[in-house]
Amino acid sequence: MARRLIIVGAGVTGLMTAKFLVDRGFSDILVIDRKYPGSGGSFRCATGVRASFTSREHIKVMLRAVDLWPKLSKELGIKYSRDGYLWLLTRDRDVEFFREAVKFQNSLGVPTRLVTPEEVRELAPTINTSSVVAAVYDPIAGKASCFDSVTNTLTHLLARGVEVKWGVEARKIAREGRGFVVETNIGSLRADSVLVAAGDGSRRLLETLGVDLPIRNLPKHALVTEAFRPVFKPLIIDWATSSYIVQLFNGNFYIGADIPEVYDTVAKVKLEFLRKAARVWTSYFPWLREVYVLRYWTGYYDMTPDHHPVIGPVEGLEGVYVAAGFSGHGFMMSPAVGEALASYILGERPLVPEFERLSPGRFARGELIKEIAVFG
Amino acid sequence: MRGYRIEEHPILKFRRGRVVKFRFNGVEVEGYEGESVLASLYALGYRVFSYSKTGRPRGAFCMIGKCSSCLARVNGVPNTRICIEPVRDGLVVETQSGLPEIPSETHGDVSEEEIEADAVVVGSGPAGLQAALTLAGHGLKVVLVEEHFKLGGQLVKQTHRFFGDTAYYGGVRGFRIGELLAEKVRASSNIKVLTSTRVYGFFAEGYLGAATVTGEPRHYLIKSKYTIVATGASERLALFENNDLPGVMGAGGAQTLMNEYGIRPGDRAVVVGSGNVGLIVAYQLLQAGVDVKAILELRDEIGGWFVHAAKIRRHGVPIKTRRTLLRVEGHDRVEKAVSVAVDGGYNPIPGTEEAYDVDLVLLAVGLQPSYALLGQMGAVVKHVPELGGLVPVRTWSMETSIPGVYVAGDLSGVEEATAAFLEGELAARSILEKEGLADGGRAEVLHYLWNVYRMSPVLERARRGKLSVTLSEGEMEELRRGAG
C-alpha cells in the first residue's frame, strides 16, 4: 500500500511541512526518523531567529518566518520571543562592512541599526565592552524553544492522523511505477511522493536516486551552562571570533564557537572548543568564570557552496522534494520552509517567490547565491 | 537550636577538628574543620538548603556530591554542592530560591597543569584505591582523581566488619579499610593524588580534562596510556507524595552524617527497603541513638542477608513486607510518614494506611551506576536491571569497548565492596600483564572473583548480571568493529 507522502527526517523542517499540509487537508503522511524527532540539528541548534542576512533570498524567506513564528507560538504553544540579536564589532573594518549590511537590510524592511558600546551595555547588562567599537542590533530577531517546536508540532500531527515512526533509517530511494519505494531497516515503504529533509544524511540519500547535491557536513560545537535568572535578552555574536552566546528560556547559557574543522569528518568533542568558548565569553562576561558547563555536544552544519538551502521539487524527478543544506539556519527558517514545501507538494507556487531561487537545479545552472555572513 | 552531635557511640570515636566560624543566611554559626558545610549546618538543626523554582524546600539527600538537592550560594558563587564543600573560617553560605542570580564574585586565575602518567584512576572508593595501589606497587606512575575532599569513597562510612577472605579485608570494619588504603596511597611515591577534583571529560586531543570543584581553581590535562574508571554509583529516589521534602534522604546520606561526621540524622526514622543497605543502615541508626519505627519492604520477602535482618529484629524493629511508603507530610521537613499495604501487583490497598511520627525517611531502594564519564568517553553501555541500570560492556579483564579504558567497582554493576576490591585488583593486574609486569596474580584474582566469591548463593543475581555484559576478547573486537 502506497502512502501519499513519506517525509524522511522528523526534524523541525519535516514536521513543519507535515503541519502545513495536514492543516490544508492533505492526509496520509508518514514521517520517519533514523533516531527520534528532533535528534539531528533541531535539538542541537542555538534556537535563534533573525531576518538580518546579507542576501535578498535569505531576508525575504526569513521575513516570512519572522511573521510565522509568533502565529505558530500562539497556535502550538511554542515559546518564542523577539529578544533581538546583537553583533559585537571590535574592528573598524567590520563597522564599515556592517554599515553597508544595515543599509541593505533596512532597504528590504529589516530594522537593524548600529549601536554604541553604551547601548550595548543597556541591551546586555553585565557585559564588559572594553574591546567593543560598535555593535549592530536587530530588534525583530529573537529565539524560539527548539523542544517546543518539535514536540508541540509532533503532538499536533499525531492528533491529526499523521504517522511518525522513530528508529527507521532510510537507506535507499528508488522509483517504482509512478511512485517511489524507500528502503529502510524495517523494510520497503512506498509513497507517491517523498520529501528528503534528513539534515546531514540528505546528500547520501539523494545520491541513491541519482541526484547529486553539493552539500558537505561541517562539524560544529555547542555547550550549555548552568541555568540562572534572566541576565540579558539578545543572542550576542562576537563577529571577530565567530562565536555567540544566548540565554535560553530555561535560563541556561548556550555558547557556540567556530574552531578549525574539516568537511565530512566525524564530529568529536575537543578541548579547543571549550577553551575558545571560555576565552571569548569570560572576557565579555567575567562572572562566567564561576559557571559550570553542563553539557557539550557536536552536530553538523549541512553546508552548500553558496551557504543557502536547497528547497523544492527535484527537477526531472517528479514527486521528489528536498529541504536540505541549510548551512546553519534550518531551525529559524522552518515555518517558512514548511509553508513553501506544502505549497509545492499541493502543486502551487510558494508564497514567497524568492524560494524559487533556492531550487536544487541552481547548482547545475550556475545560479549560486552569495552571502557574506554565516553564523549562529 | 538543639544540637545533633553524637557524643556516645558503641563503635566510633569522633575526633573533631578545630572550631571554625562561618555565616549561614546572615547568622554566624560554628562547625569543625574536616566537615562539609552541610554536615556542620545539619548538626545545628538546619534542614533546608535551597528552594525549587516552585518554592518547594530542598534538603540533604545523597551527601556525596552526586545529586543537586543542596545547591547553595557560597562566597557569592551559586550552585555550590555544600555536601562536598569543606567548611572553613569566614565562608558566607546562603540558601538559593529557584533559579540563582549569576555569580557576584570571581575567585583568582585558573592555573593549569599537564600531567603524563602510565595510568589514571578516576574515583577513590574500594575499586579505585585497590587499583591504584596495585599499579603503583609494580612501578607504574598513577594519577588518582577524587571528587570529594577525602579519599575512600563510601568506605569511610561503613562501620560493619567486612565478610569474606582476609586477603580482601574480611573481619575489618569498612572505614578502617578506607583509612588504611588511603594512608598507603598517600605514602606511595608513584601515586599523584588529586582530591576535590572532577574529571569532566575525555577529548579528541587525547586528554582527560579535570578541574578542582572547590578551593584554588586548578585545571589539569591528563594524558595516560591506561584509564580505570571507578566512579561508583548514586542512590535512587522512590516515588511517593512529597518525596522531595527535607528529611527524605538516601540511606548512604544518613550514613555519611552519622558514621563519618558523628551527626544524628534525625530522632525517629522509617527505612524504605530491606536489602542489605536498608538493614545495615537501620542498625547503624540505632547505634547513633535514632528510634527506628519500621523497615518497609515492597516485596514478599526481606531482600538482605539473614544475619543482618536477625540483628535488626533482636532490637525490636519490625520489618514490614508488602508495604510501601504512600506519602510524607510536613511543612519544611518531614513530620509524618504514611505507609500502605500492597497487593500482588504492588498496587496500594486502600484502608491499610499506617502513620509514623518521624522526622527522617531513609531510602534504601538501590543504587544506579554513575556511568556519565564512561558514556561521554563513548564506551558501549547496556541496561542490566540486576546491576542497577546502565553499565559498560567489558572483557574478563575489565576493559571496556574503548581500548585501554577499564572499569571497576559499582560502576561496572552494583555489588558489595569486596567485589569492588576484586575488580580494581583485576583491572590493575590486567594492565600489568599487558605491560609485561605481571607476576601471575591476574589468573588467581579472576578465579577467586568468579569461582569462589561470586559463587555464594546470595550473589547469584549480580553474578548473572555481570555475566551478561562480560565478553571474550574476540567478542569485544567484534563489538568495537561494529561500534566504529
A204 and A245 fall within a common domain = no
For residues B267 and B290, the answer to whether their CB atoms sit within 8 Å is yes
Q: What's the whole-number average pLDDT of chain A? A: 96
Q: For A148, what's the count of Cα atoms within 13 Å in the CB-facing half-sphere?
A: 18
Nearest to B266 by CA among B7, B38, B1, B47: B47
- Residue of B105, B203, B208, B377 for testing the chain A interface, max A β-carbons within 10 Å: B203
B215 interfaces chain A, CB cutoff of 8 Å: no
A227 interfaces chain B, CB cutoff of 8 Å: yes
Model pLDDT for residues A274-321, shown as the tens digit of each residue: 999 999 999 999 999 999 999 999 999 999 999 999 999 999 999 999
- Which region among A260-264, B61-65, B156-160, B231-235 has the lowest average model confidence (pLDDT)? B156-160
- Chain B residue with Cα closest to A288: B103
Q: In this complex, do A228 and B99 lie within 8 Å of one another by their Cβ atoms?
A: yes
A116 and A22 fall within a common domain = no
In this complex, the residue of A272, A292, A293 whose CB is nearest that of residue B79 is: A292
CA distance B423 to B407: 8
A204, burial (CB in 10 Å: exposed 0-12, middle 13-18, buried 19+) = middle
Which chain B residues are within 8 Å of A296, Cβ to Cβ?
201
A203 and A151 fall within a common domain = yes
- Chain A residue with Cα closest to B210: A271
Which chain B residues are within 8 Å of A291, Cβ to Cβ?
102-103
Asked, for residue A72, whether it belongs to a domain, the answer is no
Residue A154's contacts (CB-CB under 8 Å, 6 or more residues apart) are A10, A15, A37, A164
Asked, for residue A53, whether it belongs to a domain, the answer is no
B77 interfaces chain A, CB cutoff of 8 Å: yes
* pLDDT higher than threshold 70 for residue A373: no
Residue A117 belongs to domain spanning = 85-139+216-303
A259 and A287 fall within a common domain = yes
Mark which of A282, A303, A324 sits at the end of a domain: A303
A130 and A230 fall within a common domain = yes
Rounded mean pLDDT of B317-328?
97
Nearest to B143 by CA among B234, B229, B232: B229
For residues A301 and A218, the answer to whether their CB atoms sit within 8 Å is yes
β-bridge partners, A184 = A170, A187
Mark which of A303, A322, A354 sits at the end of a domain: A303
A36 interfaces chain B, CB cutoff of 8 Å: no
Q: In this complex, do B103 and A290 lie within 8 Å of one another by their Cβ atoms?
A: yes
Rounded mean pLDDT of B268-273?
98
Q: What is the helix, strand, coil percentage profile of chain B, to 5?
A: 30, 30, 40
A244 and A298 fall within a common domain = yes
Q: What is the helix, strand, coil percentage profile of chain A, to 5?
A: 35, 30, 40
Amino acid present at B221: L
CA distances for A180 relative to A1, A163, A188, A191, A206, angstroms: 12, 18, 10, 6, 13
Q: In this complex, do B79 and A286 lie within 8 Å of one another by their Cβ atoms?
A: no
- Looking at residue B328, its pLDDT comes to 98
CA distance A238 to A136: 11
- Looking at residue B25, its pLDDT comes to 98
- Looking at residue B2, its pLDDT comes to 54
In this complex, the residue of B98, B204, B221 whose CB is nearest that of residue A270 is: B204
Neighbours of A300 (CB within 10 A): 23
- Please name the residue that has the C-alpha cell 603524563: B116
For residues B327 and B334, the answer to whether their CB atoms sit within 8 Å is no
In this complex, the residue of A287, A293, A296 whose CB is nearest that of residue B102 is: A287
A220 and A299 fall within a common domain = yes
- Please name the residue that has the C-alpha cell 524592511: A109
Which chain B residues are within 8 Å of A231, Cβ to Cβ?
102
Give the helix/strand (H/E) hosting A82: none
Nearest to A171 by CA among A133, A199, A209: A209
A35 and A176 fall within a common domain = yes
Model pLDDT for residues A46-57, shown as the tens digit of each residue: 999 999 999 999
Q: Provide the phi-psi class of A359: left if phi over 0, else alpha when psi is between -120 and 50, else beta.
A: beta
Residue B459's contacts (CB-CB under 8 Å, 6 or more residues apart) are B415, B416, B419, B453
Asked, for residue A69, whether it belongs to a domain, the answer is no
Q: In this complex, do B203 and A269 lie within 8 Å of one another by their Cβ atoms?
A: yes
Q: In this complex, do B100 and A228 lie within 8 Å of one another by their Cβ atoms?
A: yes
B205 interfaces chain A, CB cutoff of 8 Å: yes
Nearest to B273 by CA among B241, B299, B246: B299
Which chain B residues are within 8 Å of A261, Cβ to Cβ?
none
Asked, for residue A62, whether it belongs to a domain, the answer is no
Asked, for residue A346, whether it belongs to a domain, the answer is yes
For residues A206 and A196, the answer to whether their CB atoms sit within 8 Å is yes
For residues A84 and A115, the answer to whether their CB atoms sit within 8 Å is no
B99 interfaces chain A, CB cutoff of 8 Å: yes
Interface A-B: count of C-beta contacts within 8 A: 54
* pLDDT higher than threshold 50 for residue B374: yes
- Looking at residue A374, its pLDDT comes to 44
pLDDT band at A376, cuts 50/70/90? Answer: very low
CA distance B440 to A295: 43
Q: In this complex, do A229 and B101 lie within 8 Å of one another by their Cβ atoms?
A: yes
* pLDDT higher than threshold 70 for residue A375: no
Q: For A274, what's the count of Cα atoms within 13 Å in the CB-facing half-sphere?
A: 25
Residue A168 C-alpha from the chain's centroid: 23
Rounded mean pLDDT of A203-226?
97
> How, if at all, do strands A29-33 and B291-297 pair?
unpaired
* pLDDT higher than threshold 70 for residue B124: yes
Mark which of A251, A273, A303 sits at the end of a domain: A303
A239 and A361 fall within a common domain = no
The domain tally of chain A equals 2
Which chain A residues are within 8 Å of B209, Cβ to Cβ?
271, 274
pTM of the model: 0.94
Which chain B residues are within 8 Å of A124, Cβ to Cβ?
none
A122 and A230 fall within a common domain = yes
Q: Can you give the CATH number for the domain in which A10 is found?
A: 3.50.50.60
- Surface of B (364-383) touching A: CB under 8 A: 376
Rounded mean pLDDT of A154-176?
98
Give the CA angle between residues B94, B99, B102 to the nearest 5°: 70
The domains located in chain B, with CATH, are 19-97 (3.10.20.440), 111-234+368-483 (3.50.50.60)
For residues A82 and A65, the answer to whether their CB atoms sit within 8 Å is no
Q: In this complex, do B207 and A271 lie within 8 Å of one another by their Cβ atoms?
A: yes
Residue A30's contacts (CB-CB under 8 Å, 6 or more residues apart) are A3, A5, A6, A7, A162, A163, A164, A165, A189, A191
Phi and psi for B223 in degrees, rounded to 5? Answer: -115, 130
For residues B325 and B296, the answer to whether their CB atoms sit within 8 Å is yes
Asked, for residue A56, whether it belongs to a domain, the answer is no
- Looking at residue B440, its pLDDT comes to 73
β-bridge partners, A302 = A217
CA distance A197 to A202: 7
pLDDT band at B389, cuts 50/70/90? Answer: very high
- Residue of B50, B51, B77, B102 for testing the chain A interface, max A β-carbons within 10 Å: B102
CA distance B23 to A253: 30
Q: What's the whole-number average pLDDT of chain B? A: 94
A233 min Cα distance to partner chain B (Å): 15
Neighbours of B155 (CB within 10 A): 26
Q: Can you give the CATH number for the domain in which A127 is found?
A: 3.30.9.10
Phi and psi for A59 in degrees, rounded to 5? Answer: -65, -45
* pLDDT higher than threshold 80 for residue A371: no
- Chain B residue with Cα closest to A267: B204
- Please name the residue that has the C-alpha cell 507530610: B329
Whole-number percent of chain B with pLDDT over 70: 99
Q: In this complex, do B99 and A286 lie within 8 Å of one another by their Cβ atoms?
A: no
Asked, for residue A181, whether it belongs to a domain, the answer is yes
CA distance B142 to B185: 10
Amino acid present at B108: G
CA distances for A201 relative to A9, A60, A167, A302, A365, angstroms: 9, 27, 14, 9, 24
Residue A184's contacts (CB-CB under 8 Å, 6 or more residues apart) are A32, A168, A169, A170, A171
- Surface of A (235-274) touching B: CB under 8 A: 251, 268-272, 274
For residues B131 and B230, the answer to whether their CB atoms sit within 8 Å is yes
For residues A240 and A231, the answer to whether their CB atoms sit within 8 Å is no
For residues A299 and A222, the answer to whether their CB atoms sit within 8 Å is yes
- Chain A residue with Cα closest to B71: A226
A311 and A356 fall within a common domain = yes
B21 interfaces chain A, CB cutoff of 8 Å: no
For residues B450 and B438, the answer to whether their CB atoms sit within 8 Å is no
Which chain B residues are within 8 Å of A268, Cβ to Cβ?
203-204
Whole-number percent of chain A with pLDDT over 70: 98
CA distance B471 to B461: 18
- Residue of A223, A289, A298 for testing the chain B interface, max B β-carbons within 10 Å: A289
What 3-state class would DSSP assign to B344?
coil
ipTM: 0.91
CA distance B484 to B477: 10
Asked, for residue A75, whether it belongs to a domain, the answer is no
* pLDDT higher than threshold 70 for residue B3: yes
* pLDDT higher than threshold 60 for residue B1: no
Q: CA-based diameter of chain A, in Å?
A: 66
Which chain B residues are within 8 Å of A227, Cβ to Cβ?
99
Which chain B residues are within 8 Å of A269, Cβ to Cβ?
201-204, 376
For residues B367 and B233, the answer to whether their CB atoms sit within 8 Å is yes
- Looking at residue B160, its pLDDT comes to 83
- Looking at residue B475, its pLDDT comes to 97
What 3-state class would DSSP assign to A330?
helix
A227 and A297 fall within a common domain = yes
Amino acid present at B278: G
